[in-house]
A = this chain, B = another copy of it.
Amino acid sequence: MTQKKNIAIMGAGLVGSLLSLYLAKRGYTINLYERRPDMRINSIDGGRSINLALSDRGWRALRGIGIEEEVRKVAVPMYRRVMHDEKGNLTYQPYGKEGQAIYSVSRGGLNVALMNISEPNPNISYHFNRQVMDVNVRTSEVLLQNHTTHEQERIKPDLIFGADGAYSMVRGAMQKTELFDYEQKYLEYGYKELTIPPAEDGGWLLEKNALHIWPRGNYMMIALPNIDGSFTCTLFFPYEGTRSFATIKNDNDLLNFFVEVFPDAVPLMPDLAQEYFANPIGSLVTIKCFPWSYDGRLMLIGDACHAVVPFYGQGMNAGFEDITVLDQMLETFDGDWHSLFKTFERKRKPDADAIADLAVLNFEEMRDKVADPRFLLRKKIESKISEQYPDKWIPLYTMVTFTDLPYSYAMEAGMMQEKIMKKVMKHIESAEDYEKPEVQKLLQKQLVKKEKLKPYKG
């Protein structure tokens, strides 16, 4: 087995571009093939969501290749959730401890940054306007449509990475092989992107360093800050039903609805109606599959093998963490791609499943529970527990967002915490009740039990 194979990465999105840097560092020759034109020349957004939340797992992968600081310059920290009720009253929920934040970054901006960093590398070549038409997984031949020359091209790399996203053509080819497990599941909600523009002085019209939520039970709007002073808003809304995309048919329907349910946002959205009717409705899909690799010669990575809904802000972070894990395994398996791919997919699959399920669950939390004072009280109690027992209690959100504990471990620990909190909250009317002896006694007892779930040792 030759050591330094010729590697093709299908898809030059966030995961493909970052992966190219990691592989090039180890001396491999990398060709990236991207369906869309070079977004640095021709900034077409392609309908994907505009900004993303970067958190610890993502930062770690950027740090691993030495580009953390460069990205941090264009990222806006968000320290807390700010909830807006129907009257415009605000409540708050910190994401973590003092100073802990998730970071709003522009998908396009980050992608451009990754391309600009990787393209000068002599081992990395980008090929734009190349659409994958067919992949023969048995021979590693890929048929590409060149949208510039309108001709078809054939390539036959030694190794193929499918980093071509939720609607992966590479995965489509895998799906035709025997014994390929596959699942795609849509939520009954779509999303629509809207904008709160910058203030006249270039500042932010809402609290800058926060993720804003308008939770409304079975739907919600959120807003994430951009570095230019604007916010990108996303309305998550049922397709059908009394209040849904189906029932908003004209400007009047739209404005009546927004004024009633998002009254404090409406004055900040001058282009609301124009944007609402011009922008497409995005769909929300979870994709699971297995295996992720074929015969040591082809491997899916990122959304291509585990697309998640956006409600935990972990889609990109999970894809970047794939790369961190893969890079660690390259140390052990360098050259033996067959074992590497098998080990990687077995290790990573439970974590991908866990974050997919957590993301669906978190939708309910964001659109509904955060509006409930009991829920916010519970979160306060949880952080008190975490302060008092730092070794035994890391809140679920913290595990997912601010640690590199495996998602599957976080999910299991989270379910155990859920059970304990149900018992604890029976004794809690206000934050002060935390000091009550029965609460303290209950916690002591429960946290001894909790030791059964051993801390993850890697």
Which residues of A come within 8 Å of B, CB atoms?
175, 178-186, 239, 283
Contact = CB atoms under 8 A, between A and B. Distances in A.
Most buried by B among A179, A185, A283: A179
A287 to B, nearest CB: 10
A283 B181 CA distance: 12
Contact of A178 (B178, B181, B283): B283
10 contacts: A175-B184, A179-B186, A179-B239, A180-B184, A181-B185, A182-B183, A182-B184, A183-B183, A183-B184, A183-B185
A356 to B, nearest CB: 13
Contacts of A175: 184
A25 to B, nearest CB: 35
A167 to B, nearest CB: 10
Contact of A181 (B181, B186, B239): B186
A178 B282 CA distance: 10
A211 to B, nearest CB: 27
Nearest to A286: B181
A184 B184 CA distance: 9
Contacts of A183: 182-185
A179 B178 CA distance: 25
Contacts of A186: 179-181
Contacts of A239: 179
Nearest to A285: B179
A309 to B, nearest CB: 13
A184 B186 CA distance: 15
A181 B180 contact: no
Contacts of A179: 186, 239, 283
Contacts of A182: 182-184
Contacts of A181: 184-186
A239 B178 CA distance: 12
A180 B283 CA distance: 11
Given A180-B184, A182-B183, 7 more contacts: A179-B186, A179-B239, A180-B186, A181-B185, A182-B182, A183-B183, A183-B185
Contacts of A184: 175, 180-183
A402 to B, nearest CB: 33
A427 B183 CA distance: 44
A186 B179 CA distance: 6
Nearest to A178: B283
Nearest to A239: B179
Contacts of A185: 181, 183
Nearest to A288: B183
Nearest to A186: B179
A443 to B, nearest CB: 33
Contacts of A178: 283
A26 to B, nearest CB: 31
A68 to B, nearest CB: 38
Contacts of A283: 178-179
Nearest to A284: B179
Nearest to A184: B182
Nearest to A281: B178
A443 B182 CA distance: 43
Nearest to A183: B183
Nearest to A181: B185
A283 B175 CA distance: 14
A-B complex: 6 closest residue pairs judged by Cβ atoms: A183-B183, A179-B186, A181-B185, A182-B184, A181-B186, A179-B283
A125 B185 CA distance: 37
A185 B175 CA distance: 11
A133 to B, nearest CB: 15
Nearest to A182: B184
A154 to B, nearest CB: 23
A191 to B, nearest CB: 13
A110 to B, nearest CB: 27
